[in-house]
Amino acid sequence: MPPIDPAALRARAAWLAEQLADPAVAALRVRRVLDDYADRTHRSSPKVVTSSAPNTYKTPAPVVRAIVSALRGPAQADPPAGLRLAAEVWAGGSREERRIAASLLGLVALAAPAEALAMVEAWAPQIESAETADALAELGLGPLMRADPARHLGHTRRWVTHPKRWVRRFALAALLPLVKDRQRDNVPGALAVLRLAMTDADAEVRKAAATVLMGLGPKSPTEVALFMREQAMRSNNNTHWIVRNALAGLDPSDQAEIVRLLRS
């Protein structure tokens, strides 16, 4: 990996933005920049190589951010071209490319909501990791979720029961823009989605559920504590794991009561 010279990196990123009219060429050049800055000093172990796809360049985050920053203005000025480039970059398959594609999608989503949602629907079954699930949810879908929570909460209720675990992880991560938005407090809608995930056996899905549930606690302590008490009384180990790992979002008195229910 060459040293990151900020001026040289900005120049290369700006050069990428000039190729927006030809998304296939632009996507290829994005890939070349990622490869040129790839960290080749950290090799995966043979065990990891045989168990998962080598779908990351290990390119430093500042390089990815520089690419997105350079493409921001041109993509927003021409949303259809931005969507075409996002599709080409996503197809590259690496986690870095998919993060860039999700960012591009989010930049133009409000200008073309129907097209953006269709792209999310097409990409969700292709998610291959928690990193990509979170990027697509927060960067790609996030602007649409914040703009129209009621509509998109309906989609998450469908995605959270999908057979593929990464789609379910994506559905829960899609709640995080609302959890983090201080102007939004649709706690019942988010809990309705969580309710469908509380018995999930997949560890990554449970982690996402616990993160969302813990984040909801300060937004509506009474509603969330009631929800967690109800869940604590279920005889399911997966449910109990989520509840235990979300307790930090509640007041100590509520935590104590729920721990008692978990142990009873």
User: What is the DSSP secondary-structure string of 127-177?
Assistant: --SHHHHHHIIIIIIHHHHHH-HHHHHHHHHHHTT-SSHHHHHHHHHTTHH
Rounded-to-integer distance, Cα 242 and Cα 67, Å = 37
* Residue 135 domain flag: no
* Residue 137 domain flag: no
Q: Are residues 124 and 152 in the same domain?
A: no
CA dihedral 147, 130, 104, 182 (to 10 degrees): 30
Phi, psi of 136 (to 5 degrees): -65, -40
Q: Are residues 174 and 252 in the same domain?
A: yes
Domain count, the chain: 2
Q: Are residues 123 and 2 in the same domain?
A: yes
Last residue of a domain, one of 93, 128, 163: 128
* Residue 2 domain flag: yes
Q: Are residues 159 and 259 in the same domain?
A: yes
* Residue 139 domain flag: no
* Residue 141 domain flag: no
The domain in which residue 91 lies consists of 1-128
Q: Are residues 195 and 260 in the same domain?
A: yes
**Tens-digit pLDDT string for the chain (264 aa):** 567 878 888 888 888 888 888 999 999 999 999 998 888 775 454 443 333 345 788 899 999 999 999 999 999 999 999 999 999 999 999 999 999 999 999 999 999 999 999 999 999 999 999 999 999 999 999 999 999 998 999 999 999 999 999 999 999 999 999 999 877 678 999 999 999 999 999 999 999 999 999 999 999 999 999 999 999 999 999 999 999 999 999 999 999 999 999 998
* Residue 133 domain flag: no
The closest of 149, 242, 233 to 204, measured between CA atoms, is 242
* CATH code for the domain of 213: 1.25.40
Q: Which pLDDT belongs to residue 241? A: 98
Q: Are residues 216 and 261 in the same domain?
A: yes
Last residue of a domain, one of 94, 128, 162: 128
Q: Are residues 42 and 115 in the same domain?
A: yes
Rounded-to-integer distance, Cα 206 and Cα 187, Å = 19
* Residue 180 domain flag: yes
Q: Which pLDDT belongs to residue 51? A: 34
Q: Are residues 166 and 100 in the same domain?
A: no
Q: Are residues 124 and 2 in the same domain?
A: yes
Q: Are residues 106 and 221 in the same domain?
A: no
Q: Are residues 113 and 167 in the same domain?
A: no
Q: Which pLDDT belongs to residue 12? A: 85
Q: Are 24 and 88 in contact (CB under 8 A)?
A: yes
Angle at 192 between CA 218 and CA 238, to 5 degrees: 85
* Residue 71 domain flag: yes
**Other beta carbons less than 10 A from residue 157's beta carbon:** 15
Q: Are residues 166 and 254 in the same domain?
A: yes
Q: Are 181 and 214 in contact (CB under 8 A)?
A: no
Q: Which pLDDT belongs to residue 66? A: 93
